Amino acid sequence: MAANLVQFTEAPVVDQTGLKGNYSITIEIWKNPDVPGGTIFEAVEKLGLKLEAPKITADTVVVDRVSKMPTAN
């Protein structure tokens, strides 16, 4: 679920629930934040979960330059 939430939050989502197994859920959201209950944060809270933005340590890879190397045919 955390991997799928990235498309809605536009930020990395890390699962810290400790829940194991498979779950079947349906989340209904609207892109309009003026609609009550229409944000991804409110939709997730209806499932008894909470999206937070804590400071965590995560492994990342930064590519600062790419150059094309010629190859022999």
Per-residue pLDDT reduced to its tens digit, 14-57? 888 888 888 888 877 766 667 666 778 888 888 888 888 877 78
Whether the model pTM is above 0.75: no
- Return the CA Rg of the chain: 18
Coil/strand/helix, residue 17: coil
Residue among 47, 34, 36, 37 nearest 4 (CA): 47
Q: Where are the domains of the chain?
A: 1-73
The one-letter code for the residue type at 35 is: V
Asked if pLDDT for residue 61 goes beyond 80, the answer is yes
